[in-house]
Structure 1
């Protein structure tokens, strides 16, 4: 189960934008406010704010809401503490660990592996992943008659 979080304090967003654009980009504060009121705020209202209704958690006061942040951290720690991710995510399928797969992982992660070998083993591993994934797609059997000759 995914947890969708919505946190968007308008004052914090504007303050961060002003600080970033004036300090990092050297822009005039008037130009920053003009751009914000003409483009940024209307775009937020049209595209971001409507997604609030899909949120599982809405955090009032954003990062200053320590109770909400602590609850989210505890939720994440609980999820990470569960060993069987397939129980958490029913659409997650894990490929059985074999000597071949562990060997390819070892070679791919080795900083001394050549580019050629990295590409070769990555390609081989991704083929196994795709093949495994395709095996979980719904299908119906069909009989195909091909011309002989």
Structure 2
């Protein structure tokens, strides 16, 4: 009889240990998942805030003999870097950004008119910023 009682104690302890191990694994994985979701929410809010600070206004959009160009002004809160330029949703591998005086620029500075020109004509030019904002301008 003593053997049977000891065996039941060992089996109870073993079952309790297994249950604790499973509970620990579940808690660790759910904690990691919660942390990942919290970081994703922060990144989404940060990205949304940056997109809201971007504001671009069209001065003129036109097709030229060599392609198309838009003259735009950044009325946002910070300088804007471009990720892509497209004409009629076709990605342009090369484009030029210049100030009105012809000086090249790599970004859209605040309150400065900039001309973006491509070698492709079309009806609309789209620009995508590094923060994911998409702006579309008609070409005449």
**Does the alignment reach a TM-score above 0.5?**
no
Question: What TM-score bracket applies, with the shorter chain setting the length?
Answer: under 0.3
TM-score when scaled to structure 2?
A: 0.24
Higher strand share: 2
Higher helix share: 1
Report which of the two structures shows the higher radius of gyration computed on alpha carbons. 2
